[in-house]
Chain A
Amino acid sequence: MTTTTLAQPAEVPETGSAPIVVFDDVSITFDLKPVLHHISFEVAQGETLIILGPAGCGKSVLMKLANGLIEPDSGTIRVFGQDISHMRETDRFALRKRIGMVFQESALFDSLSVENNVAYRLNEEGVPYDEAHAKVEEVLRFVELSQAIDKNPSELSGGMRRRVSIARAIITAPDLILYDSPTGGLDPITSTTIIELIVKQRDVSHTTSLLITHRLQDAFTLATHRWNPEAGHMEPIPDGKIDDSTRFLVLNDGGIVFHGSTQELVHTTDPWLREYLS
């Protein structure tokens, strides 16, 4: 991986050290089936919260709730101190400009080139072409896809699409990044490349993030590795230490079964959790 210095997320003076994301007793039901019930947790500034859980336990729903793409039936969700769950959709658009999101299946605009996908936000904001093009080149260098700038999404592999999706999410240096299964459906080598990219983004920009993954090895790689800017690649944190800013949230049957640090997760005594982790 090459070393690229990206713009840092903007300071958040209005929130200070207050949590960036707060879920307070959130519940949601689809077609009479409860998907999430009484979910409460917080994500501090600069923290990476890894969300684990079996398929269908509501992880992606939780991610969409955090971005205001769906509304909870009850409870409140505060992002940057603002109640996104009871906000008008038009007001949410302004808030979402501070949030980057990587979708499970990348969700690239298939009628736009890679450059226009990555530059989408900049084009919407009316950034001049030359400036937008330079930023796209910079962010594509960061995800090591400079050669794909003129391609269409249909010409890219699954891993490349994820990287373009990450580039699109980080181009405006958002204050919060939501990764919805960024390694889902990818082979182990490509998954590691994507995780390395996320570690790089975390350690270079210190952006608060929520990350869903089904792969435990990816989760623990995030917790036990760091980005080495001199060497230009990811490496284990020396002395078997773990990244303090990485925490875990484990869901099952729409409820939280664990929320804590890596050490607490590894030493859990909960029988279901131990079986899930084994």
Chain B
Amino acid sequence: MPLPFETFAKQKIASVQEYSLLAGRAVANVFTGRRYWADIYTQMDSIGFGSVPIILLTGFFTGCVLALQSETALKQFGAVNMTGSLVSLSMVKELGPVLTGLMVSGRNASGIASELGSMKVTEQIDAMRALGTDPIRKLVTPRLVASVFMLFWLTILADAVGVLGGAIVSISMLGLNFTYYLHSSYQTLYFADVAQGLAKPVFSGFIMSTVGCYCGMTTKGGTQGVGRATTHAVVISAIFIIVCDFLVTRLMIGIFGR
């Protein structure tokens, strides 16, 4: 009889292997064979446009809060007029990509996992295979493409409304000049900052979609299992996004020096 730890370790290693194979095949499908464009557009609508309201609200109020909080620190150095720089740098490099990734993954990783999980427990995925369709090509790849593509634009949207939120607070509450705010926001950004901010959603989109699909497609145990898969998808993708954010940040700093 194997030791309990041995079984546990084997299960975890097998899970990593299965996830890697699924993600690898989903990526390979982008470049080979049939593409389900209709499914890709449907997922873009669901994942992308469906997430616009939460991204607008999250980005806007994050920018507002950032401006308010930074005032306290900047006032000590007499640098309140640098609020625009701080807000735009923070939003574009870090908060925009990460919060967008987390918010969209909270909404969509759970949605993907519950949808595919329900299909799994009602044998719809087996039926799809029995009908000669590759479920990874049909279900996973469209969600992967849609997530990566739409998260990129959602991040830009979050950055923009965040800077706008910061501007409204800076003008109405901190008494800053709008033109100066925008000027300092723009001037403080370098190519490296924008590149770093726009590289992150590519990874977040990949993580969100593949983790959601993996959790959904490995669902076991009926409706309870679907619930577990949904929770796992949100928790795992959120953790992976934050860990990946750190790694990408370090990599980008290594490449661009800032």
Binding site for B on A (CB under 8 A): 64, 67, 69, 89-90, 92-94, 96-97, 99, 101, 103-105, 107-110, 120-121, 124, 168
Question: A159 to B126, alpha carbons, bound, how many Å?
Answer: 21
Please give, as numbers and ranges, the residues of chain B lying within 8 Å of A94 by CB-CB distance: 132
Cβ of B124 < 8 Å from any Cβ of A? yes
Contact with A along B96-139 (1 / 0, CB 8 A): 00000000000000000000000000111011111111100000
The answer to whether B132 touches A103 (Cβ under 8 A) is no
Closest CB in chain B relative to A208 CB, distance in Å:
16
**CB atoms of B122 and A64 under 8 A apart:** no
Q: How far is the CB of B129 from chain A (nearest CB, A)?
A: 6
Contact of B130 among A90, A101, A109 (CB under 8 A): A101
Candidates B122, B130, B134; contact of A69 at CB < 8 Å = B130
Contact B127 A107 (CB under 8 A): yes
Closest Cβ–Cβ distance, residue B141 to chain A (whole Å): 14
Rounded to whole angstroms, the CA-CA distance of A222 and B201 in the bound complex is 59
- Complex CA–CA separation, A120 to B132 (angstroms): 10
How many angstroms from the CA of A168 to the CA of B129 in the assembled complex? Answer: 14
Contact A97 B123 (CB under 8 A): no
B122:A99 contact, CB within 8 angstroms: no
> B132 touching A105 by the CB < 8 A rule?
no
B130 touches A121 (CB 8 A): no
Q: List residues of B whose CB falls within 8 A of some A CB.
A: 122-124, 126-134
Q: Is the CB of A93 within 8 A of B132?
A: yes
A217 to B127, CA, bound (A): 28
In the complex, given contacts A103-B123, A103-B126, what are 20 additional A-B residue pairs having Cβ atoms less than 8 angstroms apart?
A69-B129, A69-B130, A90-B134, A93-B132, A93-B133, A94-B132, A96-B132, A97-B132, A101-B127, A103-B127, A103-B130, A104-B123, A105-B122, A107-B126, A108-B127, A109-B124, A110-B122, A110-B124, A121-B131, A168-B131
B126 contacts across to A, CB distance below 8 A: 64, 69, 103, 107
A107–B131 Cα distance when bound, in Å, is 11
A124 and B122 in contact, given A101-B127, A107-B127, A109-B127 (Cβ under 8 angstroms): no
Residues of A within 8 A of B122 (CB): 105, 107, 110
Please name the 5 residue pairs, one residue from A and one from B, whose CB atoms are nearest each other, closest first.
A107-B127, A107-B123, A101-B130, A97-B132, A96-B132
Q: List A contacts of B133 (CB < 8 A).
A: 93, 120, 124
List 9 A-B pairs, Cβ < 8 Å: A64-B126, A93-B133, A96-B129, A99-B130, A105-B122, A107-B124, A108-B124, A109-B124, A120-B133
Q: How many angstroms between the C-alpha atoms of A104 and B130 in the bound complex?
A: 13
Give Cα A110–Cα B131 distance, bound, in whole angstroms: 15
Residues of chain B within 8 A (CB-CB) of A103 are 123, 126-127, 130
**Least CB separation from B33: chain A residue:** A90
Nearest residue in B to A67 (C-beta to C-beta)?
B130
Cα–Cα distance between A99 and B127 once the two chains are bound (Å): 12
Q: How far is the CA of A105 from the CA of B123 in the complex (A)?
A: 8
A125: nearest chain-B partner, CB-CB: B132
Cα distance, A69 to B133, chains bound together (Å):
12
Taking a contact as CB atoms under 8 Å apart, the answer to whether A120 and B131 are in contact is yes
CA distance A108 to B68 in the complex (A): 54
B178 shortest CB reach to chain A, Å: 48
Q: Tell me the bound Cα distance from A64 to B123 in angstroms.
A: 11
Taking a contact as CB atoms closer than 8 A, the residue among B123, B124, B131 that contacts A96 in the complex is: B131
Q: Which chain B residues lie closer than 8 Å to A97 at the CB level?
A: 132
The residues of A that contact B124 with a CB separation of less than 8 Å are: 107-110
One of A64, A108, A124, A168 near B132 (C-beta < 8 A): A124
Question: In angstroms, how far is the closest chain A Cβ from the Cβ of B221?
Answer: 13
Whether the Cβ atoms of A124 and B131 lie closer than 8 Å is yes
What B residues does A92 contact at CB under 8 A?
129
